[in-house]
Amino acid sequence: MAGLEDQAFAIVLSGTGSDGACGLRAVGASGGFTFVQAPESALFDAMPSAAITLGHPDVLATVDHGPEDPENHHPHLLNQAIQRLKEATGIDFSQYKETTLCRQLHRRLAVTGTVSMEAYVQRLASCEDLCHRSR
């Protein structure tokens, strides 16, 4: 991926180490975009603090909340998601382990910028393309 360094981005969130700071510094030095969670909003502030000291981020901001954890959903929402995916793709995910499904749904919530399982199920119902990318 030589030549794409300026298109890279690094995000450092809550953590106890400092290894993320080195990566953030490298991305920033190459012209990429860097974001660091404000230490006061982090559960563990060592990683963001190290990144600020070492990397001088482009953006320093609090992180109020991320996507909802699908494991904290109501079971009917998981069933609705499984049904919608089956209708759109022909694949029946109902035999998958719930933890596997929840992990994949959590990833999809983050990737699509959707903050709740209910909102994601609504998106699945209205967006055929989203169902195909969820496979």
**Predicted pLDDT at 48:** 93
DSSP bridge partners of 33: 9
Domain holding 44, by residue range, is: 5-61
pLDDT at 115: 74
Q: In this predicted structure, what is the pLDDT of residue 133?
A: 57
pLDDT for res 53: 92
Helix (H) / strand (E) containing 37: strand 33-37
Which residue's entry shows tokens 């012209």?
A: 31
Last residue of a domain, one of 44, 61, 78: 61
How far apart are alpha carbons 23 and 13 in whole angstroms? 13
Domain total in the chain: 2
What is the spatial distance between Cα 52 and Cα 39, in angstroms, rounded to a whole number?
9
pTM to 2 decimal places: 0.48
Per-residue pLDDT tens listing for the chain (135 residues): 567 777 888 899 988 888 888 999 999 999 888 899 999 888 899 999 999 998 788 888 887 655 555 556 678 888 998 998 888 888 999 999 888 888 788 778 777 777 788 888 888 877 655 555 555
* 31 and 78 within one domain: no
- b/e for 49-67, b at 16 or more Cβ within 10 A? bbbbebbebeebeeeeeeb
Give the residue from 18, 39, 61 where a domain finishes. Answer: 61
Measured CA angle at 87 (ends 85, 91), to 5 deg: 60
Pair 91, 41 in one domain? no
Same domain, yes or no, for 45 and 87?
no
Q: For residues 14 and 8, give the distance between their C-alpha atoms in angstroms, rounded to a whole number.
A: 20
My answer on whether 75 and 56 are in the same domain is: no
